[in-house]
Amino acid sequence: MKLPTSTEWVLHCAASLAQLQPGETASATQLATYYDLPAPYLAKQLQALTRAGILAASTGPRGGFRLARPAADITMLQIVEAVDGAVAPYECREIRQQGRGALSAEECRETCPLARTMAEAHDAWRASLAAVSLADILAELPSGAPARTRRILTG
Amino acid sequence: MKLPTSTEWVLHCAASLAQLQPGETASATQLATYYDLPAPYLAKQLQALTRAGILAASTGPRGGFRLARPAADITMLQIVEAVDGAVAPYECREIRQQGRGALSAEECRETCPLARTMAEAHDAWRASLAAVSLADILAELPSGAPARTRRILTG
DNA sequence: GGTCGCCTACTCGGATACGTAATGTCCGAGTCGGAATGG
DNA sequence: CCATTCCGACTCGGACATTACGTATCCGAGTAGGCGACC
């Protein structure tokens, strides 16, 4: 069970974009330079966030990415699932219905306890991430951080 | 973020082994036949559980696998981490210390809020799985299940 | 008939190929800003 | 001096190699039980 490396990238990028002022944008190249990341691959991930409706993209000179809605309305879960997909890590293939000890369809009306337990754990994980928004993250940074980020990122 | 397919296999196998009586064992071949799984690969996963101290293996004729300790002392988390490894899905590589916007080591004394949030979510997931033991799973099965499992599995 | 020894068959354990998905890179389509030009 | 037109450069978007991991398989070492021979 492993999240893509790019998860950390987009989380930090989203946090940086949240520190910009309304109307300002940052290009994929600027963000890649800011964190020393491979620019083309980072752009690919930012596109995924755009498709998910988390970021908005502008083309042309002075274009780039910005948050599609207020930082308080963007949760960690939304960002993570945008890059990794929203599929549960445990996929029940109903092996209890296969082989020598196969159960009848009648006996499988109830979801098997194993799958249910795994699903509950996944729900707990999702709830924990959904409880934290980008605004909550920004609130934990030093008060001077946004100005510094804007100056270095766009400079 | 995806768990190996074999996770479902070993969970079901562990549940089946928990239904055996003390002293009884089931070989990898028997378990593979019971669930219609590729025997050699299943054996590889059962070995991982043996190394983790969850199962005990006996060689020779009439040998096989059995639980290494009572079902109440084996949690879902222990089984899952035995096959998947115990590494957290989100690995913080401290990209905030790289690139144009790198923070000084002084400013990174505190773990970054993003990594902390991801770690808390992982803790919630682990706690949810650690709260359920194999004995809890067995308690949800029909009362006649153990006898049926033993008959088909060892027969 | 009992006991000892050997042998066979079955078990797990680790080392070895294959397929798929994430990682990393590239080039093309579209668009806005700016400069040069003409009025 | 101002408006217009054209050009250029920068942006995102999707399509293409490369690498690493999970999947699947095989063969070898070790052991307990069963059979036969011997006492």
**Residue B56: is it exposed, middle or buried by C-beta count within 10 angstroms (0-12/13-18/19+)?**
middle
How far apart CA A114 and CA A61 sit, in angstroms, is 53
**For B4, which residue in chain A has the nearest alpha carbon?**
A1
Which range (A75-79, A99-103, A135-139, B42-46) has the least confidence?
Answer: A99-103
Quick count: other Cβ atoms within 10 Å of Cβ A30?
Answer: 19
Going by their DSSP bridges, the two strands B64-67 and A64-67 should be labelled as unpaired
Indicate the length of chain A as a whole number.
Answer: 155
How far apart CA B74 and CA B77 sit, in angstroms, is 8
User: Confidence class of residue A94 from pLDDT cuts 50, 70 and 90?
Assistant: very high
At A26, which amino acid appears? Answer: A
User: Confidence class of residue A61 from pLDDT cuts 50, 70 and 90?
Assistant: confident
As given in the structure block, the two tokens for residue B25 are: 């064992």
Residues A32-71 as b/e (b if ≥16 CB within 10 A, e otherwise) read bbbbebeeeebbebbebbeeeebbebeeeeeebbbbeeeb
User: Confidence class of residue A23 from pLDDT cuts 50, 70 and 90?
Assistant: confident
Is A29 in the B-facing interface, judged by CB distances under 8 Å? no
Smallest CA–C1' separation from B59: which nucleotide?
C11
* CATH code of domain A6-86+133-154: 1.10.10.10
Q: What architecture (CATH level 2) is domain B6-87+133-154?
A: Orthogonal Bundle (1.10)
Question: Could you tell me the residue ranges of all domains in chain B?
Answer: 6-87+133-154
Residue nearest to nucleotide D25 (CA to C1'): B40
As given in the structure block, the two tokens for residue A98 are: 């296969």
Is A106 in the B-facing interface, judged by CB distances under 8 Å? no
Mean pLDDT (10-residue bins), chain B, 155 residues: 95 96 92 94 95 93 92 97 94 92 90 96 97 97 92 86
- What is the phi-psi region of residue A13: left when phi exceeds 0, alpha when psi lies from -120 to 50, beta otherwise? alpha
Residue B71 is predicted with a pLDDT of: 96
